[in-house]
Chain A
Amino acid sequence: MSGAADREAVFPTRQSLGLMKAKLKGAETGHSLLKRKSEALTKRFREITRRIDEAKRKMGRVMQIASLSLAEVTYAVGGNIGFQIQESARAARFRIRTKQENVSGVLLPTFESYLTEGNNDFAMTGLGKGGQQVQRCRDTYARAVEALVELASLQTAFVILDEVIKVVNRRVNAIEHVIIPRTENTIKYINSELDELDREEFYRLKKVAGKKLRDNAALDAEMKLKREEKAARELAEGQPEVQEDASGPSDLLAAEEDEDVIF
C-alpha cells in the first residue's frame, strides 16, 4: 500500500512509530506557528504597500512645489545658480540614520533624517540678491527630502518584508505539502508493517498450538495402546502386582508397627 508512496527510510518498529508521531506533532505545531507569522507579516506588508502608494503620490506633489520655488530663485537671482551650487557642495548637512523595528522577529530598518549643525555650504548663495527666495527654496526642498526619506524607509521595509514573506510562505508550504504527508505515510507504513507482523505472529502461535495438540493426541494414543497391551498381558498371567498398588494407602494406618523415626 504505502510501499510506493513517498516515505522516510525507517525500520517499522514501535520505537520509530513513536518518533514519527512526535515528528508529526512537531510539524503541525511548527506549521500553525509559521502560518500565523506569515499572516502577521502579510498584514504589515499590506499596510506598508498602501502607505507607499500614498507617499508616492504625495512625493509627486511636494516635488512639484519644490521645483516651482527653485524657478522663483532662478528668476530672483537672475541666472542659473546650479553650477555655483554644485561647485560649493562640500559636506552634507542633511543626513540620515537608520533604526530598526521588530515585526514578528523580522528586523525592519527605518531611515530617519537629521540636520548636522554648523555647516552651511551655501552661505554665499543669493548674497547679492534673491536671498529670501533661496532660503525659502532650501526649506521647501528640505521638506521634500524628508518626505523622500520617509518613502525610502517604507520602500526598504517593503523590499525586506517581501523577501521574508516569500521565505516564510515557502516554509509553510514545504511543511504542509511535503513534510506532513511524508510523515503520515511513514506512520501508515509502520502501522501496516506492525499489523502484518502481528498477523504472522498469531498464525505462528496457531501453528504451534496445532502441532502441540497433534503431538499430545499421538502421545495419548500411544499410552493408551501401551496400557491396553499391559492389561491384556496381566489378564493372561493372572493378577500380579496390581493388588499391591491398591492396598498401599489403606494399609498405612492399620499397619504393623511403625519404625521409629530417628532424626
Chain B
Amino acid sequence: MASQADYKDRQFLAVIGDEDSVTGLLLAGIGHVTAPPDSQKNFLVVDAKTDNATIEAVFEQFTTERKDIGIVLINQHIADRIRHRVDTYTAAFPALLEIPSKDHPYDPEKDSVLRRVRRLFGE
C-alpha cells in the first residue's frame, strides 16, 4: 500500500512525448528543471532517432528513481515502443497516463489501464 510519505512530495508531472506534445505541455507550465549540479529535466522529446534504450532509461528514471513526480504522461505511440515496460508497470505512484499525440489518434484498445478495465468486466 502507498504510504503517506510515498506521495506527499510528488508535485510535478513528467512527459515523454514527441516534440509537439512536449511543447504544448511545457507551454501549460509543467516543465521543471532541478537545481544546477545535476539539472534533471522532467520531460523527454522523442523523435525517430531516439532509440528505445533511451526511452526505457528515462521511463525508469521518472517512475522509480525520482520521488517528486506524481504523474507520468507518455504518448501512446511511444508507449507502444516500450509496451512491455508499460504493461508491467502496475504501481500506483507515479500514475502512468497514455496520451494521444497529434499524428497518432488515440486507440483505447492499446491503453494498458483500459485493457485492465475491460478484462475486469469480461469484455
Contact = CB atoms under 8 A, between A and B. Distances in A.
Contacts of B73: 148
Contacts of A137: 24, 27
Contacts of A67: 20-21, 24, 101-102
A223 interface: no
B24 A66 contact: yes
Nearest to A84: B23
Contacts of B41: 89
Contacts of A125: 27
A129 to B, nearest CB: 16
B27 A141 contact: yes
Interface string A182-218: 0000000000000000000000000000000000000
Interface residues of B, number: 51
B2 A160 contact: yes
B57 interface: no
Counting chain A residues whose Cβ lies within 8 A of the other chain, the interface size class is 35 or more
Interface stretch (A29-37, A55-63, A227-235, A237-245): A55-63
Interface stretch (A7-15, A94-102, A172-180): A94-102
Interface in B81-123: 90-93, 95-97, 99-102, 105-106, 108, 111, 113-114, 116-117, 120-121
B74 to A, nearest CB: 11
A158 B121 CA distance: 13
Contacts of B29: 92-94, 115, 121, 138, 142
A134 B120 CA distance: 42
A151 interface: yes
Nearest to A119: B29
Interface string B41-84: 11101000000000000000000000000110100000000000
Nearest to A125: B27
Given A82-B19, A82-B23, A92-B30, A159 B92 contact: yes
Contacts of B97: 148, 151-152, 155
Contacts of A95: 11-12
19 contacts: A52-B113, A52-B114, A60-B105, A82-B45, A85-B27, A85-B31, A86-B43, A90-B33, A91-B32, A92-B32, A93-B29, A94-B28, A96-B12, A121-B31, A125-B27, A138-B27, A155-B97, A155-B113, A159-B113
Interface of A: 49, 52-53, 56-57, 59-60, 63-64, 66-67, 70-71, 80-82, 85-86, 89-98, 109, 111, 115, 121-122, 125, 134, 137-138, 141-142, 144-145, 148-149, 151-153, 155-156, 158-160, 162-164
Which 8 residue pairs across A and B have the least CB separation, nearest first? A89-B31, A93-B29, A141-B28, A92-B32, A60-B106, A94-B29, A67-B102, A152-B95
Interface of B: 1-2, 7-8, 10-13, 19-33, 41-43, 45, 70-71, 73, 90-93, 95-97, 99-102, 105-106, 108, 111, 113-114, 116-117, 120-121
